[in-house]
Structure 1
C-alpha cells in the first residue's frame, strides 16, 4: 500500500509561485515568505513596515528569509520602471567638494530622465529615527535608490535598505561597514604616492602629512601612498610629521602650526584635502613663511578653492563630477535589476602641478 507523504515546504513554495495569478514566475511574494516562516502574511508585512509587535526570533527569521529569497517590494519595482527619483544624502557641509559632486549627480539624473532629492546630515550623524523607519520612508516615497556622499551608515541601516529593496551607493566613503556595499571612489593610494614622489623629486626629504579622520578609508589610502613613496626613497616615515583630524580648514591651521613650530620642521606638507592644504598655507603665513619659497604645500581634490587660492594649489585631482555621474548610473542600474560589472569603482586621480611647490630652500 502506497503511503501518502506530504510535499516538502519548498515544493509548496514553488507551486504557490507558479500559481500566483499572472505574477512573474519565480518572483517571491509576501505569501511565499509567510508560508516559509510558518506565519501570516500580516506578520511579514509588520516586519517590512518596521512594526515592533513581532517577537524577536520571528522577526529575525523573516528578515533572513527576505534576504535569502531576494524579496522585491512593489514600491521598489515601481521605482525602477517609472520616473525615478534618487535620494542624495550629503554628510557635512555643502562645501566646494560636495558642490562638485552634487553637480555631477544632478547632471547625470537630468540625462537619465530622473529626479534627485538632496538632503544633508550633520557630521557624524545618522538619519533620524530607527533604521527600519528611515528605510520605510524612502521606499514609500518611491525612491529608486540612495547615494550617500562621504558618510558612513551602520549595518542596521544597510540591512533596512536591503529589506525594502532600495539600492545603496556610497560615494568616497569614510568607511564601509560591509564589503558588499557598492561604492564609488578614486585611486587615493596612487594619488598620495604621486604627490609625495613629486615633492621628493623636487628635493624635499622632510615631508609632513596632514589628513582627515584617522578611521577614514580614503584618508588611510592617501596616507599609505605617502608612506610608500618615502619608503621607496629610503626615507623613514617620522610619526611626528603626521597629523590626522578632519578634512577642514581649521584642522589644517592647527596641524600646520604644530608642524611648523617643531625644532626640525618639514620643508613640505602633503594635505589630505584642498581645505586642509589652505589651512597649512595660512599657518605658514602667520609665521612669516613664504609658500613655496620656504614651504611647499599640496592639496587633494582640485576644487575651485585650489584654483582660486593665492598662489594656486598643487593638488591631486579627483574627478568629483564624474564620480557623481558614475554613482547615479550605478544606482539606477541596481534599481532596474541589472548586473553590475563591479561593486567597487575607483576613478583615476591626476597630479596637477601649480604654484605651491618648489625645491626646498637651502
Structure 2
C-alpha cells in the first residue's frame, strides 16, 4: 500500500484531521481512528504508515466532543459476595443522583484488564470507568484518555501513579489495630495470612502487623507469616499449615473476612474452638460476618462509602472539573465481636 500525497502537496500549516490522514494514507477513517486511539487490530505496516504521516503532518483532534453514554463502567477483578455488593451499592447511590446507569463487568480474577475488555468499553463510551481492586495498562489508560473517558481507581492493587485519582482505605492502620487488639488480649504467637503479593493493600496491612509487634517488643517470626489469596480456600490451606506447626499460633489475623472463614474451617477440622483455643481477626467487616459462628472480630473497611467517593470523583471529572485530590483514603476501625479472647495458655 502506498500513500498518495498529491492532494496536499507540501506539509500544511495546520495539522491534519482523521479524514485528511485517511485520504493521504489510502485507508478508511476507522483505520486511522484505531491507530490514533491505540487499538490493536491494525496491520503493522498500515500502523507504521499512519504514524509516519502523523509525525510528518501532525494530527488535529476534532473539537466536537463525542457524547458519552449515561453509564458508569464498574469493573471487578472478581464479582463475588458481599464485597462486590457493598461497592455496587455505593456507586449506585451516586449514579442514581446524576441519572446514570451502572454497568458491571468482571476480569475473572485477573489483576489487569485484557484487550477484550477495553474494546468493549471503548464501544460503549461510558461517562467514566471505575476499576475495583484491579488495574489497567498504560496503553489502556491512554486509550480511555483519548476518548475523554475519565478513570478513578477504587481500592487499587498497586501504585495509582501520577494523574490517576484513586480511593482506598487505611490499610496500614487497620493492620496495626488488628494486631494491637490481639496483643492487648495477651497473645504473643500471632500469625498473619496476607493477600496476594501484587496487592498494595496487602503490603500495607502486613506492615501494620509488623509495626504493632515491633512497638510491643515482640519479635516477628517468619514462620507465622503466610501468603494467601483473599479467598476462603487460601485461608483454610494456610491456617491448616500454621496450626500444624510445632509451636502453633494462638491467634491469626486473616488478610480479609473470606480468609478468616477459612481459618474457622481449619480450626474446626482440627478440633479447635474459636475463640477458646484460637482467636481470629478478619478485615473488611462484610455484613454477613456478624452472623458467623462466633461473630467475627474484624477491621471495618467502609466499602460503600469508598465506592460513593469514587463515583463522586468520577462525575466531577466527567463534567470537566478536577477531583478534590489525587488520593482519597477513608479510615478503618476495629469491630470487636466474639472471635477473639485471651489465650488459653
Alignment of 1:133-172 (within 5 A): 134-135=117-118, 137-172=120-155
How many angstroms does 1:73 deviate by? 6.9
Q: TM-score, normalised to structure 1's length?
A: 0.81
Q: In 1, distance between residues paired with 2:239 and 2:73? A: 37
1:152-182 Cα shifts (integer Å, max 9, x gaps): 2222222222222211122112224634332
Partner residue, 2:8? none
Instruction: Tell me: CA distance 1:257–1:141, structure 2 relative to 1, closer, same or farther (3 Å).
Output: same
Question: Does the 8 Å contact 1:273/1:300 carry over to 2?
Answer: yes
Q: In 2, distance between residues paired with 1:173 and 1:361? A: 39
Q: In 2, distance between residues paired with 1:60 and 1:184? A: 40
Aligned length: 326
How many angstroms does 1:346 deviate by? 0.8
Partner residue, 1:214? 197
Question: Does the 8 Å contact 2:125/2:149 carry over to 1?
Answer: no
Instruction: Tell me: CA distance 1:135–1:345, structure 2 relative to 1, closer, same or farther (3 Å).
Output: same
Question: Does the 8 Å contact 2:153/2:160 carry over to 1?
Answer: no
1:309-329 Cα shifts (integer Å, max 9, x gaps): 011001100111111111111
Q: In 1, distance between residues paired with 2:285 and 2:209? A: 18
Instruction: Tell me: CA distance 1:74–1:271, structure 2 relative to 1, closer, same or farther (3 Å).
Output: same
Question: Does the 8 Å contact 1:71/1:165 carry over to 2?
Answer: no
Partner residue, 1:23? none
Q: In 2, distance between residues paired with 1:136 and 1:286? A: 46
Partner residue, 1:59? 51
Partner residue, 1:330? 313
RMSD: 3.1
Partner residue, 2:216? 233
1:122-179 Cα shifts (integer Å, max 9, x gaps): 012654546xxx5454244230111111112222222222222211122112224634
Gaps of 5+ in 1: 1-8, 17-28
SS of 1:276's partner is helix
Q: In 1, distance between residues paired with 2:192 and 2:61? A: 45
Q: TM-score, normalised to structure 2's length?
A: 0.84
Gaps of 5+ in 2: 1-10
Question: Does the 8 Å contact 2:171/2:205 carry over to 1?
Answer: yes
1:228-259 Cα shifts (integer Å, max 9, x gaps): 11111111211110111200111111111011
How many angstroms does 1:69 deviate by? 9.4
Instruction: Tell me: CA distance 1:198–1:57, structure 2 relative to 1, closer, same or farther (3 Å).
Output: farther
Question: Does the 8 Å contact 1:135/1:164 carry over to 2?
Answer: no
Partner residue, 2:108? 122
Partner residue, 1:280? 263
How many angstroms does 1:93 deviate by? 3.2
Partner residue, 2:85? 99
Instruction: Tell me: CA distance 1:181–1:60, structure 2 relative to 1, closer, same or farther (3 Å).
Output: farther
Residue 175, structure 1, aligned to residue 155, structure 2: no
Q: In 2, distance between residues paired with 1:69 and 1:330? A: 29
Instruction: Tell me: CA distance 1:58–1:268, structure 2 relative to 1, closer, same or farther (3 Å).
Output: same
Partner residue, 1:21? none
Q: In 2, distance between residues paired with 1:175 and 1:119? A: 20
SS of 1:74's partner is coil
